[in-house]
Chains A and B, each alone.
Chain A
Amino acid sequence: MSIKIKAAGVTKVFASRTGPVYAVRNFNLAAEEGEFVCIVGPSGCGKSTFLRILGGLIAPSSGEVTLAPGGAQVPLQNMVFQEYAIFPWKTVVDNIAFGLEMRGVQKAERQEIALDWIRKVGLAGFANSYPYQLSGGMKQRVSIARAFANNPEILLMDEPLGALDAQTRVVLQEELVHLWEGARKTIIYVTHSIEEAVLLGDRVVLMTAHPGTNKSEFAVPFERPRQFALTSTPEFGQLAYAIWKDLEGEVKQAMEQQL
């Protein structure tokens, strides 16, 4: 296995009226090719900022980020945004085909790929709807499908299931596990849910409260392929609880910061 993503000493400082704000501070992360890494941390600790740095949308103030291209004819990385960021002026199918269109894939081919993904995320019948006609959870699925349809080597996913109801969430978690076990992309997956991180990830990386840096890491030893039934085992509960105990103090600190 080779290292696909390496972030060393990543720090991001934003200028604000009250002085500099550290969004992330000296954060380190390495992910192997095909690894599913979950990042969990209290709200405002800098997870989205870190993902934006990985995605090349903002530059770090200091530190270094390397994504190793695999040389295949596919994009290196794509993001699933916390705010969905699907285009209100494009239909569902055109949104999902967006990356393919930018890469110059012919219309017939990209339609076919997009329609396939529409079915996989359970949006059949909404291909020609505009985002304003969709619920929050449906928009989020469009944004997930847009990333998968573009078939990148690395997926950077920022709370991709955050806006879903608990039941749909379970269905899509299983679907995600299934997709990933089939395609073995390198995934950095930000989530608020410890259970989700344990169910999906090979490894859970915890961040401290704002300004976020490395808190600790947990390997997730469970066999694949995984199913939702895993969440009802004692081992699963024990690991999730251990992670929560480790994170609890940070979450409380983050809540106090916000008061």
Chain B
Amino acid sequence: MKHRPQFNVETRDRLLPIGFPILLLLLWEIAVRLTWLDARFFPAPSTIITALVNLIVKGELLGKLWLLPGFISTGDWAGVLKVFAEGHLWISLYRIFAGFVLGAVPGIALGTLMGMNRTIRIALEPVFSALYVLPKIAILPLVMLVLGIGEVSKIAIVGIAAFFLVLFNTMAGVRDIEVIYLEAGRNYGANRWQLFRHVILPSASPFIFVGLRLSLGTALIVIIAAEFVAARYGLGYLVWFSWQTLLTENMFAGLIVIMVLGTLFTSGLHALERRLVPWQREERRMPMDASEMQRQSAKS
């Protein structure tokens, strides 16, 4: 076999993930300028970027930040809050995280309890399973009926979504513990709390993280949907309102922000998991593709 220089392959691997998207965006831009694409439906990337900058400058996306110094110097904290509450990004983030925490914490607690205690599990599992399979968006009208259309119902719907996902994953994790670790814990004198803290919780934590990751993804879906129908601020509202008023470049700008948010959530949780679950092998083996295998055999 002929030896090709190695660095070519490696620089290619590094450039491709950046280069190809840029190429696509360039093609998109050109296609719009040559009117092959209808700019009303697919505004050019440059137009979308301009729209995004405008949203920020006009204080819609991040709130009217320039008012902050005045409010802070006069000690007008309600004013400060209002600035953030009127930024689409902040209000969505607030709803997501408040709901996420309010759902995940009891989800972990009850999931652990159900994993450890047979009686509780048998009693609760059918009910929770039935509720779990209901698409969360389907119960949004019910939640709004009960809790009104204010912040509470939006936080609640995110919380409900997170709760079930975390609950079932935690329960699966707790039930997955190898008996030998419980035996070792008991033989070395762990009491119930110590057993939970030193054996059950760490052993289940990879599962718990799966639940957290899934529920953060779901939280994003649910909150956008809720903001479509019942909000005056938020990223979902931004997208929906821009569509209704045919400001498609604003709609695309909103989609970009949501995309970035989703990516940050995923990588943030990954980073947190690496910190809190450091005992798992770091480099999971990626599936090799054909060119990779060729390279490996060429090396040896």
* Residues of A near any B CB (own CB < 8 A): 52, 55-57, 75, 77-79, 81, 83, 85-90, 98-99, 101-103, 130-132, 146, 150
Contacts and interface: CB of A to CB of B under 8 A. Distances in A.
B184 A130 contact: no
Task: Report, as a range, how many residues of chain B touch the other chain.
Answer: 20 to 34
Given A102-B194, A132-B280, A87 B188 contact: no
Nearest to A98: B188
A85 B184 contact: yes
Contact of B187 (A57, A87, A90): A57
B39 to A, nearest CB: 55
Contacts of A88: 279
Interface stretch (B126-134, B198-206, B223-231): B198-206
B150 interface: no
B188 A130 contact: no
Contacts of A56: 186-187
13 contacts: A78-B187, A81-B183, A83-B180, A87-B181, A87-B184, A88-B279, A89-B279, A98-B198, A99-B189, A102-B190, A102-B191, A132-B280, A132-B281
Interface string B259-279: 000000000000000000111
Interface in B201-249: 202-203, 205
Which of B189, B199, B277, B280 is most buried by chain A, counting CB atoms within 10 A of its CB? B189
Contact of A87 (B189, B194, B198, B205): B198
B187 A132 contact: no
A146 B187 CA distance: 11
A187 B199 CA distance: 27
Contacts of B183: 52, 57, 79, 81, 85
Given A131-B279, A132-B281, A89 B189 contact: no
B266 to A, nearest CB: 23
Interface string B169-191: 00000000000110110111111
Contact of B189 (A85, A103, A130): A103
B188 A99 contact: yes
Nearest to A131: B279
A146 B181 CA distance: 14
Contacts of B281: 132
Which of B183, B187, B188, B203 is most buried by chain A, counting CB atoms within 10 A of its CB? B187
Interface of B: 180-181, 183-184, 186-191, 194, 198-199, 202-203, 205, 277-281
Contacts of A89: 202-203, 205, 277, 279
B188 A132 contact: no
A128 B184 CA distance: 20
Nearest to B281: A132
A72 B194 CA distance: 23
Which of B184, B280, B281 is most buried by chain A, counting CB atoms within 10 A of its CB? B184
Nearest to A102: B189
B180 A81 contact: yes
B92 to A, nearest CB: 35
B279 A150 contact: no
A132 B206 CA distance: 15
B186 A87 contact: no
A78 B188 contact: yes
A85 B179 CA distance: 10
A101 B191 CA distance: 12
Contacts of B277: 89
A230 B187 CA distance: 35
Contact of B180 (A85, A130, A131): A85
Nearest to A95: B184
Given A85-B184, A87-B184, 13 more contacts: A75-B188, A75-B189, A77-B187, A78-B187, A78-B188, A85-B180, A87-B181, A87-B198, A90-B198, A99-B188, A102-B190, A102-B191, A132-B280
Contacts of B184: 79, 81, 85-87
A88 B183 CA distance: 14
